[in-house]
Chains A and B, each alone.
Chain A
Amino acid sequence: MSVPNPDGVKSILATDCGSTTTKAILIERKGDEYRLIVRGEAPTTVESPFEDVTKGVLNAVREVEELAGRKILMGETIMTPAKDGEGVDLYVSTSSAGGGLQMMVFGVVKTMTAESAQRAALGAGAIVMDVIASNDGRLPYQKIKRIRQLRPDMILLSGGIDGGTTAHVAELAELLSAADPKARLGAGYLLPVIYAGNKDARQIVRDRLERKTALVITDNLRPVLERENLGPARTQIHDLFMEHVMAHAPGYKKLMEWTLVPIMPTPAAVGRIIETIAREEGIQAIGVDIGGATTDVFSVFQGVFNRTVSANLGMSYSISNVLAETGIDNIMRWVPFRVEDKDIRNRIKNKMIRPTTIPQSLEELMIEQGIAREALRLAFEQHKSLAVGLKGVQQERTISDTFDQTASGETLVSLRDLNMLVGSGGVLSHAPRRQQAALMLIDAFVPECVTHLAVDSIFMMPQLGVLSTVHPKAATEVFKKDCLIHLGTCIAPVGTAKENAECVKVKLEREKGGSEEVSVGFGHMKVLLLGVGESGRVVINPSKGFDVGAGHGKTFETKVEGGVVGLIIDCRGRRPFLLPLSAEERVRKLNEWNKALNVYPERK
């Protein structure tokens, strides 16, 4: 099958096979523009007795058929191209089911080639299970044991600049050969290994690995110290993902035959969309996608794109790991009512073993959203620490930059400079009230000064990401008109004081007319209405000791965009942002803030 001419495409079906849910969207051309028509979803069918991902896809598509009143399926397949109003012209899909793409990366120096290799793998949408470097402090037998234990889907081997010493690369290849690693899925095939290191060591690597692995050789991802060349390695990762990993996952062979373009790993697709927004709008942006098994954070600061994945932070399969990593106290601090530790622990474990269930009662929802805050917070912490000194794809560096690289310890992520924070993933996109998504994002990311907030309306960034590779016009139009739900703008003065002390005065002049001025004391939150599509100018006067972007106590004036929540003034303090220590006081404050933002309905 070939990709149809974009001009002739009138209907598009795109699916995302997540680890928990399979989501399908139908896009149609209405006049000159592409719009989202309907969305359907169904549980991902990797569990017995189905064990075939296409069943979940078909179920999701059936829901789309019912909602759209349009026939798309012919028996158990998707009809392409469309004919007489039935079927679709283009079908694309992403996937993170089956645990996504799991990789190990190798490099000579941990902070140089190994880090570049890690970036190449992360950018391609992989979960990096471990980074093995010549100087990582582990003994050879420990590294070998680790390689044998982990059973990755694929290995990326890098090391050395072109023309440099080959000895260290040989050592890595020997380690790998001695470990004789096996692939995770399917015992009958060789583990794919991509070599993207010193070109002079290619024959050495071939001699050691060609017989034991499915070796692919590509351009060095760090040909010289000052420059990365991650593109070829990423392309190889995508190709091998399709060829080896997807082909061995239950039902994927069939799915691959249906799609007109290669199935893309979900995170790679989301990254593509986030990068596009930041580039087109010229802004500093953070995107987060919280799924059932993993949480991905994407950031673009100073034009540099970074992605990290927290492999075991998620809201279903990995929910118990959030508890294990953060501790029960950190989860309890977000729950706005008294509940026993034991109760929360059991609820979390029950969600882990029955990952597709959803909160039915308000209390369950509040607990789950509390856990989400911690999953998001931990994932963001990891992102900040991994995005230290990272430079993006094919970024030119000076020698001094190279030495600065991780040694400086400074993250590229600057919350003060952040213009836009976009949330995606079930717990954010499906939150019954958008206020819930807004507050989860604020509590987890603790944005400073002035930040615009948005969520992926119905979790379709992955589908639009893959669509943008074949039909950028449709992807961009739907993204702008149907995907993003603007929540509003958060104003958060940086500083701290005693409760009720004067913190900030905000004057909002709405563009459509009318103005409003409020004063908010420390420890409180307030919302000014500024609807979707509306904008205004704000004059923010922080008290002495507080900074909103212009310096301590200095007035800051800027344009703000509205949203379904409005203009959120968050005076709960920054650097540090602390919750009351006493349980009683904490519950009182949480309820006060929830009320200020109208986050939850009244509890019965």
Chain B
Amino acid sequence: MAHAYTPGVTVTARTRLVRERRLPLAGTVLAKVGDEVKAEQVVARTELPGNVQTVNVANILSVLPEDIEGTLTKSVGASLEEGDIFAMSRSFFGLFKSKCKSPTKGTLESISNITGQAILREPPIPVEVHAYVDGKVIEAMEKEGVKVETECSFLQGIFGIGGETWGEIKLLVSKSGEPLDEKSLDAACSGKIVVGGSRVDNSFLVKAVSAGVRGVVVGGIDDKDLRQFLGYDLGVAITGSEEKGISVIITEGFGEMRMAEKTFSLLRSLEGRKASMSGVTQIRAGVMRPEVIVSMDGRVSPSGQKGSVFSALGLEVGSAIRVIREPHFGRLGRVVDLPPELGVLETEAKVRVLEVEFEDGTKTILPRANVEMIEG
């Protein structure tokens, strides 16, 4: 086999990206094609239908379901305040009245003459979509949203939590192998996206939230710390909806993991620049990895080079790779051979393998499944 398809994450100094900003339901688009937008700018707005409450009118009024229409004191579609009477019945020659009160502010959406129920809908929930990145609107989708293009530096992490945020990049370590220390957090970190080296722990994250840090980008985290921070054990890697007051991106994996030098030096070169980040991760169909985007804003990329988003055909001799599983987890190297025959591992499993030469010149055989491509 000449090449194998291998997943990888992108780390590039300069590329052009398009981010689709779409409403969950049809609404109003506030930006038009050609507009220069800022990350924090609202580009589309809508209202989600409010929650629904049911009231069993027939039971409350002791009438038959088919008779409830005649008990209504407000018509279907009418607005209601909490406590408003919307249905009433009289019994015993009109001496006793039974009333149905609205349990919520909203509208009387419908009634059913089969079940005797009334459906009340709470007021709509406003939803706003931000531009998320600084860039230019290149497409407006009627009632749905916009596409924003940006020329940027772009880094993907392997796993994250928390949604979209933005802020200035601030390094809290001097080396990629250095863990984040809560002592480095101070008032200057407020509103920032802070970058660490090999590891972040629960106490740092807790303190970072109270210090107003918006995001953390770091090599690794112990599962124990993630569990403590989230308050539960994460079952599947579908994240982004956590409301912890901070977004976190892990670039390498779980445990103490030195951030890849390329990632670290790119982040260092971007220090002080405004970055958009998203911790949203979905490791299922339509995989989503967390990301950091730093728009160029007309500037030359930090390294002065024009990169390209990873779009490799697959592994080839010479491809730069990173090992993504023990025993060489995190090491970088180049493919020196892609033998067509199956190789035998220590486990006795016969699998497709490759020979890699690490940065220190040593060579070893690895399963192809245990490497990911990185840009060379």
Return the chain A residue nearest B122 by Cβ: A141
From the candidates B254, B285, B340, name the one contacting A350 in the complex (CB within 8 A).
B254
Contact status B369-A144, CB under 8 Å: no
Q: Give the size of the chain A interface in residues (CB under 8 angstroms).
A: 71
Q: Is the CB of B348 within 8 A of A361?
A: no
Given A144-B51, A320-B237, are A98 and B285 neighbors across the interface (CB < 8 Å)? yes
Which one, B29-37, B112-120, B146-154, is touching chain A? B112-120
With a CB–CB cut-off of 8 A, which chain A residues contact B281? 353
Q: How far is A56 from B254 in the complex, measured between Cα atoms in Å?
A: 28
A-B CB pair tally, cutoff 8 Å: 190
Question: Which B residues lie within 8 Å of A325 (CB)?
Answer: 235
Judge if A352 is at the interface, Cβ distance under 8 Å. yes
B181 at interface, CB cutoff 8 A: no
CB <8 Å contact, B114 and A432? no
Give the docked Cα–Cα distance between A49 and B287 (Å). 10
Q: Mark A309-334, 1 if CB is under 8 A from B, else 0.
A: 00010000110110111000000000
Instruction: Tell me which residues across on chain B come within 8 A of A433, comparing CB atoms.
Output: 348
Contact A356-B7, Cβ < 8 Å, known A317-B237, A318-B236, A349-B223: yes
| A355 in contact (CB, < 8 A) | yes
Instruction: Kindly specify which of A163-171, A268-276, A578-586 makes contact with the partner chain.
Output: A163-171
Residues of A within 8 Å of B4, CB to CB, are 42, 59
Main secondary structure of the interface of B (DSSP, over half): loop
Structural contact, B53 and A342, CB atoms closer than 8 A = no
- Contact residue among A45, A312, A320, A324 (Cβ-Cβ distance under 8 Å from B5): A45
Q: Are A321 and B236 in contact (CB under 8 A)?
A: yes
Interface residues of B in 285-333 (CB under 8 A from A): 285-287, 289, 309-311, 324-327, 329
Q: How far is the CB of A431 from chain B (nearest CB, A)?
A: 8
Chain A binding site: helix, strand, loop or mixed by DSSP? helix
Is the CB of A359 closer than 8 A to any CB of chain B?
A: yes
B285 x A46 contact (CB < 8 A): yes
Measured between beta carbons, the chain B residues less than 8 angstroms from A56 are: 5
Question: In the complex, what residue of chain A is closest to B157 when comparing beta carbons?
Answer: A353
B372 within 8 A of A: yes
B324, A358: Cβ atoms closer than 8 Å? no
Q: Is the pair B223, A342 in contact by a Cβ cutoff of 8 Å?
A: yes
For chain B, which range describes its interface: under 10, 10 to 19, 20 to 34, or 35 or more residues?
35 or more
Task: Compute how far the CA of A180 lies from the CA of B325 in the bound complex, rounded to whole angstroms.
Answer: 44
Q: B-facing mask of A357-385, CB < 8 A → 1, else 0?
A: 11111101100000000000000000000
Chain A nearest CB from B164 CB (Å) reads 18
Does A576 belong to the interface (CB within 8 Å)?
no
**Do residues B286 and A51 form an inter-chain contact, with CB atoms below 8 A?**
yes
B67-87 Cβ-contact flags toward A at 8 Å (1 or 0):
000000000000000000000
A362 and B253 contact, CB distance less than 8 A? no
- Tell me, rounded to whole Å, the shortest Cβ–Cβ distance linking B353 to chain A: 10
- Tell whether A444 is near chain B: CB-to-CB under 8 Å: no
A457 interface hit (Cβ, 8 Å): no
With A358-B367, A361-B346, A432-B348 as given contacts, are A19 and B236 in contact (CB-CB < 8 Å)? no
**Closest chain B residue to A323, Cβ basis:** B233
Q: Given contacts A178-B119, A204-B114, A357-B367, could you give 7 more A-B pairs where the C-beta distance is less than 8 Å? A: A48-B289, A167-B115, A187-B24, A349-B223, A357-B369, A360-B325, A432-B348
- Cβ contacts A to B, 5 pairs, < 8 Å: A19-B285, A171-B117, A312-B236, A352-B234, A354-B324
What residues make up the interface of A, taking CB atoms closer than 8 Å to B?
Answer: 19, 42-43, 45-51, 55-56, 59, 62-63, 66, 97-99, 140-141, 144-145, 166-168, 170-171, 174-175, 178-180, 187, 204, 249-250, 293, 312, 317-318, 320-321, 323-325, 342, 345-350, 352-362, 364-365, 430, 432-433, 601, 604
Closest 9 CB pairs of A and B: A321-B235, A98-B285, A432-B348, A345-B223, A170-B114, A349-B254, A324-B233, A140-B54, A47-B287
